[in-house]
Amino acid sequence: MKTENNLKATIRSIPNFPKKGIVFRDITTLLKDPKALQEVVDLFYRAYKDKNITKVVSVESRGFIFGGALAYRLDAGFVPIRKKGKLPAQTFSEEYVLEYGTDTIEIHEDAIEPGDRVIIHDDLLATGGTIAAACRLVERLQADIVGLSFLIELSFLNGRERIKQYPIQTLITYDSE
């Protein structure tokens, strides 16, 4: 079994991407390692296997990778949350603030039933804006959010503060840029 440090070693850090001063955490190097990929899915599965999860909701796009695999392992449905205009049927939308403006995410109106037991998964917890908006969408559909899961948390950005009312599972934490 890989430890957090072993999993962290499979992630490539790219300085000054997408802009100067940012270190981008590239998970494609973890994804190409079959053992690391399996370990991540197994760790998330073990965290939620006894929680009677009915839906795994994931935010596009990298969140879909582990969210889909986790839904399969949990015998749950998979629900995508996408950027505005990407879903074909009737949607609910939620706007959220970014450091440089706003963005909007959407979910199909019929994606979740009231009382569904949901995990919301994304690859990265940074400032928490996207995942907080995803939580508002899921709650609008009257589901129970059992937990939030992330492969990576950038703890120095304090995103956890915006979603502290939910149980949070992260596998890898970066305490500084």
- Which positions are annotated as active-site residues? 62, 99
The vertex-108 CA angle with 141 and 117, nearest 5°, equals 40
Classify the C-alpha dihedral 153-142-91-73 as positive or negative. Answer: positive
